[in-house]
Amino acid sequence: MKFLIVISIICGFLVSSINLFSQDADQKESESPIKKPVLNPWFSSTLIDAQTSFCPNKGDLEFLIHHRFTSIENGIKDLFGFYGASNIRLGLNYGITDKLMVGFGTERDKKMQEFLLKYKIVQQTRDNSVPVSVLVYANVCINAREADYWGLDYSFINRLSYYSQIIISRKWNSNLSTLIGLGYAHINKVDSYRVVTEDSVSQTIEYFPKYYNDALGISFAGRYKVSNTFTIIGEYEHPLSIGKPQGLGPHNQNTNPKPIDPKPNLALGFEITTVTHTFQLFGSSYRAIIPQNNVIMNNFDFTQKNGIMLGFNIVVKF
């Protein structure tokens, strides 16, 4: 229900914004060049883990490979995580219009099947009469792990999770672009602690949520172009758990295991771009790739070696 309320608010915002900012095709053709959208503030739809203001043009396709290695804590013994277990996501994004993108992705660790969309509400213009771009992003994910994973009270709705975000982006000059995002994440059913209590005559088994079901994420990201093909990139996201985790009863509040608060993400790296390809190599403390899993369940601390993972993204445009 919370997710539906958020989506309803976003949809209302979309409708009002479209009325304010949409123009017909004849008006667009008559615009002077400085009134047109800024060129290439971002070269792909994602910057490490953050969504950007980029959407494929109408009829264009974007193929994405996201790869996260194991942490660097073992150093050269496993080649800084390259020989360890990795997480991978493959995705396709398609431009329905120049402003509307839809996509699908599949992720390895939790077998997440992600359905997503992104819409440009406002686009920054070259003369800065519109100083920022504003977008909305939303996804619905299905966790495809086997039914036994979900326990005796399994139902399909346990598999669902959601994420929605408002993104504000600005290209400051030919070299520097930044963005800020506010996201809301919800997972219907999270992992649990199993607590066994015994006395002389009976045994009681209780389950307590290991994570909160809801969280907000405040993110910042930027790119600085060093040359026509080489760019320095970085992002930071701070998650904020909200609400009361489902299944945490009012009894024994002082002794029940408490949900884990998610840790923030810091990522730094570089990007190499061509007309049709984008390659990003970076270090990050996010592994999950799927945004709601990162915002709600990230346990990796970027101040520790075991919380830093190398990764790369490859984007191919068709």
The size of the chain, in residues, is 318
CB 174 within 8 A of CB 217: no
Helices assigned H by DSSP within the chain: 2-21, 25-30, 291-297
CATH fold group of domain 2-317:
Porin (2.40.160)
CB 227 within 8 A of CB 214: no
pLDDT reported for residue 123? 95
Q: How distant, in Å, are the alpha carbons of 198, 218, 263, 281 from that of 303?
A: 40, 19, 11, 19
CB 259 within 8 A of CB 154: no
Query: What is the radius of gyration, based on Cα positions, of the chain?
Result: 21
CA–CA separation, 174 and 128 (whole Å): 13
Nearest 5°: the CA angle 138, 141, 142 is 160
Q: How distant, in Å, are the alpha carbons of 31, 67, 263, 287, 297 from that of 211?
A: 51, 25, 12, 16, 6
Phi/psi for 37 (5° steps) reads -60, 150
CB 132 within 8 A of CB 122: yes
CB 184 within 8 A of CB 137: no
DSSP state of 77: G
pLDDT reported for residue 33? 66
181: CB partners within 8 A, 6+ apart:
50, 51, 165, 166, 167, 168, 217, 218, 219, 220, 221
> What pTM does this model have?
0.83
Show the low-confidence residues of the chain (pLDDT under 70).
Answer: 1-34, 245-255
Exposed e or buried b per residue across 127-139, where buried means at least 16 C-beta atoms within 10 angstroms of its C-beta: eeebebbbbbbbb
- With H, G, I as helix, E, B as strand and everything else as coil, classify residue 292: helix
- With H, G, I as helix, E, B as strand and everything else as coil, classify residue 164: strand
The residue ranges of every structural domain in the chain are 2-317
CA–CA separation, 53 and 97 (whole Å): 14
Q: Which pLDDT tens digit goes with each residue over 103-138?
A: 999 999 999 999 999 999 999 999 999 999 999 999
